[in-house]
Amino acid sequence: MAGYAFPESLVETAWVEAHLYDPDVRLIEVDVDVTSYVRGHLPGAVAWDWSADLSDPVRRDILSKADFERLMGAAGITNESRVILYGDQSNWFAAWALWQMKIYGHERVSLMNGGTRKWIAEGRPLTKDVPPRTPVRYTAREADVSLRALLKEVQAASETGSATLVDVRTPEEFSGKVLAPLGLPETCQRGGHIPGAHNVPWSEVCREDGTFKEADELRALLTQKGISPDRPAIAYCRIGERSAHMWFVLKYLVGISEVKHYDGSWTEWGNLVGAPIDREKFRRIPHASPRIASVLKAPGGKNPLSGRTKNYVRRQDILAGWPVEMVSYEVEGCHYCDIYSVSPGNRLGGGVGTSAREARAKARDQAWEQLSDLGRRLSVMLSNFQDAFLVVDENWELTYLNEKSLSLIGQSYSESLGLNLWDALPELADSLREPLTEALRGDGRTHLEVCLPSKKMWLNVRTSPTGEGLAIYLIDITERKQAETELAVMNRKLEAELLERKRIERDLRKAKQEAEEMSRLKSAFLSNMTHEIRTPLAGILGITAILSEEISDELREFIHLIDNSGKRLLDTLNSVLDLSLIESGSVSLNKEPVRVLEVVQDKLVFLEPLARRKGLTLALGEVSDVEALLDYSALDRILNHLIGNAIKFTSEGRVELDVCPVADRVHIRVRDTGIGISPEFQAHMFEAFKQESTGMDRSYEGSGLGLAIVKHLVERMDGAISVESAPGKGSVFTVAFPRAPEKRSKREARLRSVFGSSRERGPAG
């Protein structure tokens, strides 16, 4: 820690292990790969997800003060706690968390030097247990904006040079050759860097084990890159995590007093309309000086960086089928070699030796180790694929298979390795040999679907090129194909059903037209017939009235029979015509507020003589003076039928009428003490021409149309009709109509608008 500006900001792994169970210490893990924590972490450590816990995704911003306080309190961190942050990728996001903690004023916070990688390399303890944390209250300070650079300040620094812009991305990102490091998503539309920025790749401030370099090395690196510790600096990267890492180095290790972090970084600038950018032709710059300073440090403090590099060699090489870039160079008699993957900035290994061969051999050993580790991880990933994956060389021999592909071939891995693809999967030879041969000779890519009859499987076949042949993906799409087949069958059924539906619709339209024509003919027939019958019938009734006064008493009885029969016939004709007009919609109803009690009283006066002749009492029961929305004439006809029926089917006793409001309806009940209605007939009593007593033995006259007319009229006025009856116990017919809105006087309305409702006014009114 010697030489660092703020050595307390960095702790070593040994110190952390010694303080694992210190109640004052809180360990927080923040990773690029948010799944690393569950695979193993430091005992007692709590995980923070950088994308969920340390970000506001709605505003694309750091945490607000309130959210920061909740995060700290939930982790059991008090204002006095000593917080140790660590993570993968040499503490990228751990540094980002530290930056936010400094913004909100938490002083006792440090990074664990080397992060998770160094801890594991030293064999220190790991656990999968998640420690319990008791939430505490945490109070943050107001945000220290001097630690953060926003867009306007960065634009000013680019235009005026008021601060040194430090771009910590790889040289390939800085030059614009790539938009993001290998394996990371592209978050911008343009490649390049902010005009005036200096490129200091974050990896150059770290050793191979992920720990930070010594203070002298860091200062020498910055001097070489043209960065003065006496000028303000602003660090940026792609999304802000690597530049937080560099911000920590510049402020707490090197000691630059004015350092800001531009967390908007290239994601903001690279997508900004109208923002200028710089690009450079990509070239590889040997990284000998900063990498070997500690190795070549000469006695007496002589800096070997002043020596010239020579025998610089750059060439493409192939390491286990992986295309790599090898950089060899010599500095003052010492030979160096670095090996990079062709993805920019990804260093696989490096070596130092007394000869170029020795340096390359050491670099190859390191590269082999990294590639072997990568190969093991890839093998685990491919083995766990849910779909078959295999690799063939240019002679169609199988060089790799995962577990799923072995199940297709039906042999073990050792038996399958080296087999010819067409011998291993003979059923696919006819359909795949030609397209895969074209892919092997061309760009290595193809996409088609084939069937594997023996297993009743459908496979989606995709290929991609490898250094020696083809990678083949066999994706099981059997369920999809079955679904497509079922869908095709269903489509055919639907088409047939659609044709049948269209035929039925044609038949229905034809039947409707015929029914309408029949209805028109029926109406015309009834109209003509009633006219033709009514006219002579009216004459007959008129003549009988005259004859009843002029003939002798002996013949007056016959005249009386003729008169009664004629009136019955006329009543039947009127009912038939009324029903016909109602069913055809020819009757126009005008709904308006009607005082129901007034209509009922008029009807009682009209029918009272009929009841008196039968010795019945016709009276009102429970009544209220309310209004309903209905047609006056229709209500008159409804009451005429209901009260008339009650009188007709009651031999002794009484007929009563109730008028009462029920919620938003007005109920009219007609109760009698007559013969009642059987339950069997109640289901048919509103049908036309239906009567309970029929034939020659029926006791009561009538056409059976009255209740059918009543039902039609009630429903036309949005009403409802019901009946309660039992043989020998009388009947109760109830009709319900919508209640009319209450009318308010002008004075009442005025008082309500000024003082509120009467219920809201006090005793004083």
> Is 655 within 8 Å of 598 (Cβ atoms)?
no
Cα 586 to Cα 165, 512, 574: the distances in Å are: 89, 18, 15
Cα 106 to Cα 99, 135, 253, 348: the distances in Å are: 10, 17, 18, 38
Contacts of 327 (CB under 8 A, 6+ apart): 284, 286, 312, 313, 314, 337, 338, 339, 340
Q: What's the CA gap between 688 and 693, in Å, rounded?
A: 14
> Is 290 within 8 Å of 43 (Cβ atoms)?
no
Q: How far is CA 600 from the centre of its chain?
A: 61
Q: Give the three-class secondary structure for 743.
A: coil
| Active-site annotation holds for 237 | yes
Measure CA of the first residue to CA of the last residue in the chain; give whole Å: 86
Furthest CA-CA distance within the chain = 163
Count of alpha carbons within 13 Å of 703, Cβ hemisphere only?
20
Query: Among the residues of 75-144, which ranges form H helices?
Result: 92-103, 115-121
Rounded (10°) CA dihedral 553, 559, 565, 566 = -140
Q: How far is CA 158 from the centre of its chain?
A: 42
User: How many residues are there in the chain?
Assistant: 765
Rounded (10°) CA dihedral 488, 491, 496, 500 = 170
- H-helix or E-strand containing 236? strand 233-236
Of the candidates 188, 237, 334, 337, the residue annotated as catalytic is 237
164 dihedral zone (left: phi>0; alpha: psi -120 to 50; beta): beta
- Residue numbers annotated as active site: 237
